[in-house]
Chains A and B, each alone.
Chain A
Amino acid sequence: MQDVILSLLAKEPAHGYELRQRLVKALGPAGGALNPGQVYVTLSRLERAGLVEAREVAQPSHPDKKVYELTASGRERVMLWLTDVTWSRVVPLEFHLKLAAAAATRLTDPVALVDSQRLELLRELRQLQELALQEPPDSDGALLLEGASLRLQADIRWLEVCQQRLVERESR
């Protein structure tokens, strides 16, 4: 979250509400699920860490607002984040270990485990597609949903491979 907020400030200084708006736009339909306070909490942590500076701007009919700006070290951190190639959730590791445990202990049938997981992902895929149909095709939100959909499809394909292996192993 910190890196995301910093990157949103990299273009120009902004106040909290503007940042939240930019983030919501980039997330599309997922933006609604964002906790409203999260942006402000993150901003104050970044300020304490010396990555952003705040200055009060007087407004005629409203209370002063705080406009945030990147410091030099904040800008450096944004560059590090943008060029970092660490990828989240490349392997569905937890499920892999769950499956290994099921196969070893027989506490539950591994094939049935894969089946129910696959069906759950298909349900998610169905909902993603319904959401995607409601988004303008060229919006940021549609692009995010496309990414989520492709990733789910890959996970579903992997589960099909798991299933195939398990069935072959059992018929041996």
Chain B
Amino acid sequence: MSKVIEARGLVRRYPADGSPIRAVDDVDLVVEAGEAVSVMGPSGCGKSTLLHLLGGLERPDAGELSLAGTRVDGLSETQWAVFRRRNVGFVFQAFHLVDELTAVENVELPTLLVGGSRRDARRRAMALLERLGVAEQAGHLPHQLSGGERQRVAVARALVNEPLVVLADEPTGNLDSRATGDILRLFGELRQARQTLLIVTHDARVASTADRLLTMRDGAIVAQTRLGEGTSVAGLLAGLADLGGER
């Protein structure tokens, strides 16, 4: 398997009264191609900062970062921007869609930014909207869409340049239970399609869909586990059907 993310000794400090806070404190992380990883932890544990470092939205104060074998920690802002457009897809809690553009235009944007043709951009965007079940809303502006639809459009935009990795920061944070269900199903499909995914979340439902779960505390990864193993379905079902014997 090839390593899509390889981080060694990542550190990010924020200035504070007295000594600076180490928001990300000496983090090592390897994510293999096709792996879905979720990161949980209390607010302020550094999980969003870690995601920003991995996607080049913030720069580390120390440490090394390679994406698909390319060292990126030494890139200039402009080089990072170019690399990111092709290789990293972002999904945020607040969607970050351009309000003045329709759903399909939002999804086309990343392709146009890397120099794709209008025709190619439209074709890719429509194919993704179709796949994510929002093709009928292609001509709608973001404010005409429900929260769940907006997030599906945002996921389409993240996927349109076939990125090496999709980084999602609280993707269900603004969604009601039904829309969360839709997004969970969507991430399940991405996982089956072997899309490499890193999801930062406090939502246990979202976190539990990953192959591997990382727990962060005070800027460090304090626990890691594979989720697909262990517990038997039979045991779970027996627990559900336990009506307390013949009492």
- Encode contact with A along B104-137: 1 for CB under 8 Å, 0 otherwise: 0000000000000000000000000000000000
Contact present for B208 and A129 (CB under 8 Å): yes
On chain A, the residues within 8 Å of B241 by CB distance are 27, 30-31, 33-34
Contact present for B208 and A126 (CB under 8 Å): yes
For residue B202, give the distance in angstroms from its CB to the closest CB of chain A: 8
State which residues 184-241 of B face A: CB under 8 Å.
184-185, 188, 204-205, 207-209, 213, 215, 217, 222-223, 225, 227-231, 233-234, 236-238, 240-241
State whether the Cβ of A38 lies closer than 8 Å to any Cβ in chain B: yes
For residue B154, give the distance in angstroms from its CB to the closest CB of chain A: 22
State whether the Cβ of A153 lies closer than 8 Å to any Cβ in chain B: yes
Chain B: CB-nearest residue to A148: B240
Count of interface residues, chain A, beta-carbon cutoff 8 Å: 40
Known contacts A1-B245, A4-B243, A164 near B42 by CB under 8 Å: yes
State whether the Cβ of B244 lies closer than 8 Å to any Cβ in chain A: yes
Contact present for A30 and B240 (CB under 8 Å): yes
Contact present for A129 and B231 (CB under 8 Å): no
Determine the distance from Cα of A30 to Cα of B231 in the docked complex, in whole angstroms. Answer: 15
State whether the Cβ of B100 lies closer than 8 Å to any Cβ in chain A: no
State whether the Cβ of B17 lies closer than 8 Å to any Cβ in chain A: no
Name the residue in B42, B208, B215, B233 with the highest tally of chain A Cβ atoms < 10 Å from its Cβ.
B208
Contact present for A1 and B208 (CB under 8 Å): no
- Count of A-B contacts judged by CB separation below 8 Å: 83
State whether the Cβ of A143 lies closer than 8 Å to any Cβ in chain B: no
Which of A45, A127, A160, A163 is within 8 Å of B246, CB to CB? A45
State whether the Cβ of A76 lies closer than 8 Å to any Cβ in chain B: no
On chain A, the residues within 8 Å of B42 by CB distance are 160, 163-164
State whether the Cβ of A128 lies closer than 8 Å to any Cβ in chain B: yes
30 interchain pairs, CB-CB under 8 A? A1-B244, A1-B245, A27-B241, A31-B241, A32-B237, A33-B234, A41-B246, A115-B215, A115-B223, A119-B213, A122-B207, A122-B227, A123-B227, A123-B231, A124-B231, A126-B209, A126-B227, A127-B233, A127-B236, A129-B205, A131-B236, A131-B237, A144-B240, A145-B240, A148-B240, A152-B204, A157-B204, A163-B42, A164-B42, A167-B217
8 additional contacts (CB under 8 A) given A115-B215, A120-B231: A30-B237, A33-B237, A125-B204, A125-B205, A127-B233, A127-B236, A156-B204, A160-B42
Enumerate chain B interface residues (CB-CB to A < 8 A).
Answer: 42, 184-185, 188, 204-205, 207-209, 213, 215, 217, 222-223, 225, 227-231, 233-234, 236-238, 240-241, 243-247
